[in-house]
Amino acid sequence: MFMLGNTKMGSASSFSKFCLTLLLLVDVLGSTNAQLSTNFYSKSCPNLLSIVKSTVTSAINKEARMGASLLRLFFHDCFVNGCDGSVLLDDTSSFTGEKNANPNRNSARGFDVVDNIKSAVENVCPGVVSCADILAIAARDSVEILGGPKWAVKLGRRDARSASQSAANNGIPPPTSNLNRLTSRFNALGLSTRDLVALSGAHTIGQARCTSFRARIYNESNIDASFAQTRQRNCPRTTGSGDNNLAPLDIQTPTSFDNNYFKNLISQRGLLHSDQQLFNGGSTDSIVRGYGNSPSSFNSDFVAAMIKMGDISPLTGSRGEIRKNCRRVN
């Protein structure tokens, strides 16, 4: 009798534990698999999109290059442990973030604009909108304001509490990359070769530093001679001389989001080594040709690739946090 009673109690206890485990499992799965959605803040912060748009518009009106800088920040965020706002964290005495990693040092910019957006959003919806989502919206707005396509941004990301300088150094393809390296890095993040070419079209806006393209304009043969000479005027051969002098990634329309980047590649006027690799007798030549001939084809593929990139390893549910200040964890 006593043993039977114990067995019954044991069964009840086991069943309770099983139910608790199941609940915890459902909770964990719910928090990790929560889906991003385009209307995530429709109730909690209904004016979010107009607030971001007006701040981005104002920043681009002051400096057209800022659109490219904000778009680039989103790339550099997503390519390092997913789209989690980690690129925005400042270094501290006890923490080394991504801002001084090789791909970002002296070149990543737009952090003040993100601060302005965050401040404006916090005034209206305190503690609701993540910095990671602000970056995703600002990237979309930048493209649209500069004449490119518009799309509905999926939202619901949360912010990382950490960052990784080594992951940034290893995860963001440098401008010296060849096609194999570019393809394999994009593929590792679930992005196809077509996504690679479409996303590279972001180089239809923005500027690059002399140090990023010096080797190409002096040493490479798959480059239009007059284009190389034009670029050499503002980028001396000697390392250390004029390293930070800028040149447009698209020599034709550097502040308009269009398909001229691809036309430049076809005429061997890609500024970076990694750009020209996309049209250099390899597997991506036909895609570049297609985008050079059809702006609508480029736009639709760019939008699809941006949405796909925005889906890379987001923190959702109960993971991460909603930072009060994009530069530091709460």
As annotated, the binding site includes 77, 80, 82, 84, 86, 98, 173, 203-204, 250, 253, 258
Q: Which residues are annotated as a binding site for heme b?
A: 203
Say whether 158 sits in a helix, a strand or coil.
strand
Query: Active site includes 76?
Result: yes
Single-letter amino acid, residue 325: N
Whether the Cβ atoms of residue 153 and residue 140 lie closer than 8 Å to each other = yes
Q: Give the residue among 54, 70, 40, 105 at the shortest CA–CA distance from 322.
A: 40
- Give the list of residues 6+ apart from residue 232 with CB closer than 8 angstroms, or none: 217, 218
Strands (E), 191-330: 207-209, 246-248
Taking the C-alpha atoms of residue 299 and residue 281, their distance in angstroms, rounded to an integer, is: 24
> φ and ψ at 37, to 5 degrees?
-145, 155
Q: Which two tokens mark 55?
A: 């701040």
Single-letter amino acid, residue 119: S
Q: Which long-range contacts (CB under 8 A, 24 or more apart) does 266-269 make?
A: 266/292, 267/224, 268/222, 268/223, 268/224, 268/227, 269/223, 269/224, 269/227
Whether the Cβ atoms of residue 309 and residue 75 lie closer than 8 Å to each other = yes
Taking the C-alpha atoms of residue 108 and residue 311, their distance in angstroms, rounded to an integer, is: 22
Q: Which two tokens mark 96?
A: 């080394």
Taking the C-alpha atoms of residue 216 and residue 189, their distance in angstroms, rounded to an integer, is: 27
> φ and ψ at 194, to 5 degrees?
-65, -40
Q: Which residues are annotated as a binding site for substrate?
A: 173
> φ and ψ at 113, to 5 degrees?
-65, -45
Q: Which residues are annotated as a binding site for Ca(2+)?
A: 77, 80, 82, 84, 86, 98, 204, 250, 253, 258
Of the residues 65, 72, 76, 323, which is catalytic? 76
Question: Which positions are catalytic?
Answer: 76
